[in-house]
Amino acid sequence: MCIAVKNLIEFIATGKSGLYSSVRRYIMNSNGPLRRKSDVLTDDHFLITASAITLALRPFHVADLNINDVGLSDVKDAAEQYCTFLLTVPWLSQCVPAVLLPAFKHASVLSPCLLTLLISKERIFVEMSKLDQSKFCSSCPNLIPSSGWALANIINLATEYDNGSGDSGRFVQGLDCRVYVHSVITISENLLCWLENCGCPRNEENDEYIGNDESSIETADPDILEKTASLGSLKVSYIEAFKPVYQQWHLMKLLAMAKKDFSMPEADTSAANPSFEYCGKLELIDIAFFYSCMLRIFSSFNPMGGSMPTLNMLSFTPGFLVELWRVLEGSFLCQEDHVGNDDKLCKNGISGSHNDIVMEKKQGRVAKDAGNKWTSVLQKITGKSCNDVDYVQSTNSPLGPSLDDGDACDSWDVEPLRRGSQGISKEISCLLHLFCATYAHLLLVLDDIEFYEKQVPFMLEQQRRIASVLNTLVYNGFSHNNGHHNKPLMDAAVRCLHLLYERDCRHRFSPPSLWIAPARKGRPPIAAAARAHEAVTANLRSADALTSPSMGSVITTTPHVFPFEERVQMFREFIKLDKVSRRMAGEVAGPGPGSIEIVVRRDHIVEDGFKQLNFLGSRLKSWINVSFVSECGLPEAGLDYGGLSKEFLTDISRTAFDPGYGLFSQTSTSERCLIPNTAARLVENGMQMIEFLGRVVGKALYEGILLDYSFSLVFVQKLLGRYSFLDELSTLDPELYRNLMYVKHYEGDVRELSLDFTVTEELLGQRVVTELKSGGKNMAVTNENKLQYVHAIADYKLNRQILPLANAFYRGLIDLISPSWLSLFNASEFNQLLSGGKHDFDVDDLRSNTRYTGGYSEGSRTIKLFWEVITGFEPKERCMLLKFVTSCSRAPLLGFKHLQPTFTIHKVACDVPLWAMIGGQDVDRLPSASTCYNTLKLPTYKRPSTLRNKLLYAISSNAGFELS
């Protein structure tokens, strides 16, 4: 009897029997994973199924038969066939009758298979590949390969969970989680390699992934196609199979296992379980590898949101991000007071695939002090590390003493990352990818109170270190032309870096030296950088991004590594190059024949400008000659050599941007910034007028003419193609922001506030109620959904409501200003580009760039008195003077040499009676100005007191244009 059993088991275990392939065919054809509801599993059908599964699993119970002659090699052969033929059955857990499923989940079956997968992965993957290419695979292999189905099945067989809850679940009893984690990583890498080489072909009509062979759809199992149709697409249903991965219990139990492993004796591990020879101990790096692979897989199959549930879980798991950062910080910064100072990590870790890393776990760990590191990982509910007290700053200087230290650039340039992603090991690359993806997701919902005041999950000093690491990585990755190396890491790092930089732009937490540190010693000349930027833009437009110059990629991705003044110079260089190319193309670039002639009535300047210029589009770059008609209907004297065009731009913007005109309104903040009026959509030609004003602003930027206006940062964010988040609402509507923060942090029952998912606004005297989501009128705000409500309100106010208006303005703006030029600046810098620098100016700079006419010279007595007087002015008075002369209160960003036209002081000769001169009387006439020519018309005053008083009176009274 024993011999017969032995022979039977040997026959089953070998490939000669064809048992596993037959069982696979039977399960897929007879027990289709997605049987129609009308199908009934008969008793005979069930008996056959049970018998087939019993035969397939018998070799795994060989130890219970006490047959000494049946060796482990027979079980290994059976396990390889099991992995190849059964684990790759699509939706295996749904194929098998529920009563038989525990047999597949039993540790005596699952664990040997997973261990075999680790040992014989190359041979098993080859067999899976052959299976995909054979007609034997009837489940559309080109949609998802066999390794992909094996991955989903392993996760489902290894876990038991409640479909309706993300907090309850467990791994099957007796499962070795270390073998499980490393098996999932191994097969995930195989699947990712397939995705990279084969990709996920799309059906253009229904956005489903399809095979290269159209006949594969026709021969596909109809049950699978029915399931695909019922769920919308195969990729969605496939990602659903990974549900245990994005439930929090799954991560927490793995972290607990890692903590337990750190406390296990070294001597007993390999002896107690041979799997340790292949897996080592479960560590944080293994868990990070696991979830990093999952994020990449989810993103590949569903780029629009497949990874969202996992990111939600990871970002809100207490202490997880903190632990990831502590290991990364120990690796990159190698500081004694941080955990993770393992020599291997500090030297950028080891190279090679994760499977090679697994085999080397016996020689070393990721961190020597990992036991201490994990003592409190599960108790951290605030997300702060136990060493956070080290980063607490003085209350007098919340940003710390080093914030403005200009000599600290070297400390922000992280040496291990000076080669970009190629300078770090695969281990650290994986940790960093998971950290960046998770933290970027958390930053979307982290408000300023949590970030700056509560300082969770990181203290501000840690935030600066994170920013410096990402900044160095991204800059060097693109500057060394390896931005496309390790694309998942670089994409996640760029996204996280941009979110941190934009938060710093809104409310500074880092010194300026941090952002420019990586490029401090190697920035190219401005002209060269500008040409490289234009080259990469042209290549991107031609879909040839792979040949992009590396420096162009740097400027496109991390423009902030260049100081603001240098980026302004680049912007002017772009325009200079554009004007040169237009001249070479034969376009008119100056006054004379072919220039655009318009006639504008002073009291209808917006309407006349709209009718005569709006249709020109990008031709507005050409020279424009403006003739004004006075309010009396008479043509005004004057020749336009650029000055009247400037006056036209400043006057039309003054009128059109006035809130009383109805196209723009002002924010309720103290800055009173401009933002499109939502009611403009309902006004005749309102959207076209806003588009025209975009062209007006574009023309001013193109010609270097300053407009004395600032737009709301939220509005500018839209022009720059950037999404606005919750905290930016404080710059638009501080009262609404405070109310939302009250709701977000409300400790009682939010139902007491009687809120629903609607927003009410007044348009042209009527109250309009808008639902924030479908059925929002009947959806009460509760403690469970209040975070959704807060972000829905913010999203509506910051993005949805303003987007159509911003798009209209943007269409006009980019007719003259390339989007790639705008990408150099953040929202605040855009306003400076438009309206000038700080609210004061350098008197010496103005003096060096002033022209004198009418008889004045630099040595004239009145001119000497003038410079003496304005040097003694208050900053506010100097700004008033500048606005009086130029119509803008701020100086050009690059100095007065860039002011167009040049600042001019013109002599106004005044006849003074002889008796007045004898009596010491000075000139009575007031100064005046021609703003179109940036000219101050200054009488010949003799006394500084007279000049000062007359000048202050004139600029305070806003005495305007006077044509001499």
How many CB atoms are closer than 10 A to CB 206? 10
DSSP letter for each residue of 365-386: -S-TTHHHHTTTTTT-SS---T
932 catalytic residue (yes or no) = yes
Question: In DSSP terms, which residues pair with 771 in a beta bridge?
Answer: 758
Angle at 481 between CA 544 and CA 537, to 5 degrees: 40
Q: Are strands 159-161 and 664-666 parallel, antiparallel or unpaired?
A: unpaired
> DSSP label at 636?
P
User: For residues 570 and 564, what is the distance between their CA atoms, to the nearest angstrom?
Assistant: 10
> Given 177, 279, 430, 932, which residue is catalytic?
932
Q: Which residues of 380-413 are buried (b: 16+ CB within 10 A; e: fewer)?
A: beebbbbebeebebeeeeebbebbeeeebbebbb
CA atoms 785, 790, 791, 796: torsion sign:
positive
How many CB atoms are closer than 10 A to CB 938? 27
Q: How far is CA 503 from the centre of its chain?
A: 12
Q: How large is the angle between the packed helices 284-301 and 177-198, nearest 10 degrees?
A: 40
Residue 665, SS3?
A: strand
Asked if 154 and 184 count as a contact pair (C-beta separation under 8 A), the reply is yes
Q: How large is the angle between the packed helices 19-30 and 72-81, nearest 10 degrees?
A: 30
Asked if 526 and 566 count as a contact pair (C-beta separation under 8 A), the reply is yes
User: For residues 701 and 806, what is the distance between their CA atoms, to the nearest angstrom?
Assistant: 18
Q: Which two tokens stand for residue 822?
A: 């705008």
User: For residues 508 and 501, what is the distance between their CA atoms, to the nearest angstrom?
Assistant: 9
DSSP letter for each residue of 160-225: EE-TT-SS-EEEPTT--HHHHHHHHHHHHHHHHHHHHHH---B-TTT--B--S-THHHHTS-HHHH
User: For residues 566 and 714, what is the distance between their CA atoms, to the nearest angstrom?
Assistant: 25
Q: Which two tokens stand for residue 517?
A: 């540190």
User: For residues 68 and 294, what is the distance between their CA atoms, to the nearest angstrom?
Assistant: 41
Cis before 901 (ω within 30):
yes
Strand ranges for 594-731 from DSSP E: 596-601, 624-629, 664-666, 674-676
- Cα→Cα distances 906→179, 851, 889, 939, Å: 86, 9, 20, 8
Closest CA to 427 of 567, 302, 328: 328
Could you give the count of Cα atoms lying within 13 Å of 495 in the half-sphere of its Cβ?
Answer: 20
Length of the chain: 964
Question: In DSSP terms, which residues pair with 169 in a beta bridge?
Answer: 161
Question: In DSSP terms, which residues pair with 71 in a beta bridge?
Answer: none
Q: Which two tokens stand for residue 573?
A: 């260089």
Closest CA to 798 of 863, 875, 740, 862: 740
Q: Residue 68 contacts by C-beta under 8 Å, 6 or more apart in sequence? A: none
Residue 65, SS3?
A: helix
User: For residues 149 and 194, what is the distance between their CA atoms, to the nearest angstrom?
Assistant: 13
Catalytic positions are 932
